[in-house]
Amino acid sequence: MPNSFTRILLLFSLLVLLKVSALAQETASADATRKAFLQLIDHPRVPLASVVKVLPNVDGLRQEQFTYATEKTQRVPGILLKQEGNQRRSVVVVLHGTGGTKEGQLSVLKTLASQGFIAIAIDARYHGERQTGTGSTQYVAAMLQTYRTGQEHPFLYDTVWDVLRLIDYLETRPDVDASRIGVIGFSKGGMETYLAAAVDPRIAVAVPMIGVQSFR
């Protein structure tokens, strides 16, 4: 008969094996979920064709406007602030909420850039430069159109795709430390933040602010 120590050792080994098996199942489940979500938001990849314009400094910070392509008919406009110099820096992407714009995030961008980050904001689908008219009328109409036709995903998913392509663009910049890219978002942008981080391991840090909804 095995002694007490042997029984404990066997029990411990069994618990370890069960834990390893459970972790493997969780990993497989997470990988399957990530793959399924990526297929849901995926679009045919087009060349980024990025265009950058340097603007006058703001509060002593270098300011750039840029655009990049995410689809044949979609170009995403963005703002970038950073301290002068070409050394590689960590990046924080700031995602606005419903009805917001990239310009509305300038105070956050200035705070981040003054701390040494490259700070970036983009306009979400049907927001800022990517809308016609005023308010959220076009955005709401696009969501209704999706509900009726299944075309596009203007609420969350299409902008998540834009964020993934933004990271593709950031990886092309010599001043970006691609291993240190973080995203912070507010409300709608908060939801886009955790969805993007769930599907793209290149996002090292995700900070969703008031981004959990019940949709009641």
pLDDT in tens, 85-117: 889 999 999 999 999 999 999 999 999 999 999
Who has greater pLDDT, 17 or 179?
179
Q: Are the C-beta atoms of residues 118 and 176 closer than 8 Å to each other?
A: yes
Distance from chain centroid for Cα 145? 24
End-to-end CA distance of the chain: 60
pLDDT tier for residue 42 given thresholds of 50, 70 and 90: confident
Q: How much is the pLDDT for 11?
A: 74
Who has greater pLDDT, 175 or 39?
175
Q: Where are the alpha helices (DSSP H) in 42-172?
A: 106-114, 137-149, 157-170
Q: How much is the pLDDT for 150?
A: 86
pLDDT tier for residue 27 given thresholds of 50, 70 and 90: low
Task: Report percent pLDDT > 70 for the chain.
Answer: 92
Question: For 190-201, what is the mean pLDDT?
Answer: 93
Q: Are the C-beta atoms of residues 66 and 80 closer than 8 Å to each other?
A: yes
What separation in angstroms does the CA of 206 have from each of 122, 134, 137, 200, 211? 16, 30, 29, 11, 11
Q: Where are the alpha helices (DSSP H) in 87-199?
A: 106-114, 137-149, 157-170, 188-199
Partners of 120 in beta bridges: 80, 93
**134 pLDDT more than 90:** no
The closest of 155, 154, 140 to 191, measured between CA atoms, is: 155
Question: For 113-137, what is the mean pLDDT?
Answer: 92
Q: What pTM value is reported for the model?
A: 0.84
pLDDT tier for residue 151 given thresholds of 50, 70 and 90: confident
Beta strands in 5-85 (DSSP E): 51-58, 61-71, 74-82
